[in-house]
Structure 1
């Protein structure tokens, strides 16, 4: 009898030990530091990150501190291509409302035509984000009236925490007092409308800019660039010419534009004298990679 009791006690003890081990293994991920869990969740589409809230009470609010917020058809609605924009707005609103950590990146991509109602929602989101010290901002939207571009609200131009900015199908018209983005290192403008003066003031107002990509930018004739730290420059479209000033750190140049670079035209403008194409690149001591499209030269 005593032997049976002892054996039963041993079995119970062994069972408890096994259960403790199982619980320890189960909790191993949950007990990771918050920044590690945030990093893991950042690799998931936001739809999947939100679904982790059903794993346990511990995971219920883990996604509230997700640092990278990406809202697009693939990450949010990959299972329902016919979802309407009103549902999209509700999801973005909810995420921004409950989010309690820093937002490093916010990306919103909507390739369906957006109406004026959604425009006001985007304005509201940008205003909210400027107060959250966002680092990376990506906006890709297409207006219902194809002749019109989404006008970037003035509040974005006050966001000095930006390091990366990518805009597509947008219209840039900053306030007169705008002095540039002092911490911006990467700028990608695709199908953007802006004036010559706005562009030049924007570039010269970004002293830390290292990467610049321009694709079919409307409103520019001559591309004048003053960027002492610029290392990578890409341009696609049709322009009268390109002028670099104080850009001796250039490492990579990719040009696929229709330019008139005959000696009597563009290069003379660049250097104040007649020159050959090689003379221009001789002034780029750090240049390592040069890609020229087939339509670059027009002699």
Structure 2
């Protein structure tokens, strides 16, 4: 074998060896650890906090990386279900102590939804730490303790807060409160707050877009005035409501729980407009509306017009919950609302009860306006039993809905309404599909 051939073979082996060594080194390069922190933060905050904390065992370089996250979410994924509320809070405090010791940079979000029993003093100090870190989202949910937490005053001076969800708190505004100028979303659940405080809070959130009030205590008169509000959900006790100066509202969901067990609204003073007119006269831009039985009865206080003067031209979705078809006041109100929605496309109704009422039956039979529901396409009625009043309402829908495509009825009993019976009813639409279901 010539010397040239031997040299070429050795050169080939060297080249192959170098390639293998380079490939091995490439495999051992820790590319993840060398990623920019903003990229790592994006990865880690999308993991459950428990999994993000487990990265501390990867290497000494990773030991405290998780403590520098921009978002901290404590939920049931972090702890075994067997742990009690107090023990869970103890575990949370261990994590908080590490974060306070090693964290640098901003913290944008803190969510506590671990069904724990927080110590008020510890939570105050943590919120103070968050306030100094540029907190934008604070979410407190589902405590296991009964005692109400008093919110610390420095929370109301967080300039960057854009989302607040508070549960089980005592809400009092400090005397020097100037407003949440960045707050876009506010949710209060089982919070103790008086009407005047709530009104002041809403007024002083100039860019507030979403407001949710659930099981609020001590509310008598709900005054909601905010020109930028777009979404409103209320499921709570209250006696009266005013929605003036909320012209941009496009989604409203109101479930009224009568205060003190009183289901009949107080008598209106002579000359005052019906509650239906007063509440809805400013909601000209609304697109989605959900109303419950007791609130319909509240709206019926006064002389209910056949239709609202302020036509709800933009309303395309209407959901009526817990309707009592034997209550003339409720039926009168929701028919008046239906008359005022020329562009309504979807109608959902859940029925609470339908005992026979001669006055309701007569009222429904008298509704004979041509093309009453000219744009209606989908109707779903849940909880019916097939009474004569329910059937009269269904007849009205079928006879006055020329574009209707789908009608679904759901009964809770063993027997569904025969589709053949509904097919015998006069229908304005030739293409409607009728379906009867049972639950």
Q: CA deviation at 1:169?
A: 0.6
Higher radius of gyration, 1 or 2: 2
More moved, 1-10 vs 216-225: 1-10
Structure 2 Cα separation of the partners of residues 57 and 258 of structure 1 = 56
Structure 2 Cα separation of the partners of residues 5 and 284 of structure 1 = 86
Paired residues of 1:143 and 1:150 also in contact (CA < 8 A): no
Structure 1 Cα separation of the partners of residues 192 and 255 of structure 2 = 19
Segments of structure 1 that go 5 or more residues without pairing to the other structure are none
Segments of structure 2 that go 5 or more residues without pairing to the other structure are 1-5, 298-328, 330-439
Q: CA deviation at 1:3?
A: 5.3
More moved, 237-246 vs 60-69: 60-69
Paired residues of 1:263 and 1:275 also in contact (CA < 8 A): no
Structure 2 Cα separation of the partners of residues 58 and 8 of structure 1 = 38
Paired residues of 1:200 and 1:225 also in contact (CA < 8 A): yes
Structure 2 Cα separation of the partners of residues 39 and 237 of structure 1 = 38
Could you say which residue in structure 2 is the equivalent of 1:295?
294
Instruction: Please give the TM-score of this superposition, normalised by the length of structure 1.
Output: 0.85
CA distance 1:71–1:77, shift in 2 (3 Å): same
CA distance 1:57–1:88, shift in 2 (3 Å): closer
1:100 aligned to which of 92, 97, 104: 104
Give the secondary structure class of the aligned counterpart of 2:73: strand
Structure 1 Cα separation of the partners of residues 34 and 83 of structure 2 = 37
Question: CA offsets per residue over residues 63-117 of structure 1, 9 Å max, x none?
Answer: 243111112332x214763554323211122123212121110112342444xxx
Q: CA deviation at 1:200?
A: 1.2
Structure 2 Cα separation of the partners of residues 141 and 52 of structure 1 = 28
Could you say which residue in structure 1 is the equivalent of 2:73?
70
Could you say which residue in structure 1 is the equivalent of 2:153?
154
More moved, 221-230 vs 77-86: 77-86
Paired residues of 2:113 and 2:143 also in contact (CA < 8 A): no
Structure 1 Cα separation of the partners of residues 240 and 248 of structure 2 = 20
1:8 aligned to which of 4, 13, 34: 13
Cα RMSD for the two superposed structures: 2.7
CA distance 1:276–1:121, shift in 2 (3 Å): closer
Q: CA deviation at 1:143?
A: 6.7
Paired residues of 1:141 and 1:150 also in contact (CA < 8 A): no
Work out whether 1:36 is the aligned partner of 2:35. Answer: no
Could you say which residue in structure 1 is the equivalent of 2:137?
136
Structure 1 Cα separation of the partners of residues 176 and 224 of structure 2 = 20
Structure 2 Cα separation of the partners of residues 219 and 72 of structure 1 = 29
Paired residues of 2:187 and 2:213 also in contact (CA < 8 A): yes
Runs of 4+ in 1 over 4 A off after TM superposition: 1-4, 259-264
Could you say which residue in structure 1 is the equivalent of 2:226?
227
- Give the number of aligned pairs: 287
Paired residues of 1:69 and 1:105 also in contact (CA < 8 A): yes
More moved, 3-12 vs 178-187: 3-12
Structure 2 Cα separation of the partners of residues 143 and 227 of structure 1 = 34
Work out whether 1:19 is the aligned partner of 2:21. Answer: no
Give the secondary structure class of the aligned counterpart of 2:76: coil
Give the secondary structure class of the aligned counterpart of 1:197: helix
Give the secondary structure class of the aligned counterpart of 1:246: coil
More moved, 83-92 vs 102-111: 83-92
Could you say which residue in structure 1 is the equivalent of 2:113?
109
Structure 2 Cα separation of the partners of residues 275 and 294 of structure 1 = 17
Give the secondary structure class of the aligned counterpart of 1:86: helix
Work out whether 1:86 is the aligned partner of 2:85. Answer: no
Question: CA offsets per residue over residues 25-79 of structure 1, 9 Å max, x none?
Answer: x51x4444322221111111111112223334554443243111112332x2147
Paired residues of 2:243 and 2:282 also in contact (CA < 8 A): no
Within a 5 Å distance, the mapping from 1:168-207 to structure 2 comes to 168-207=167-206
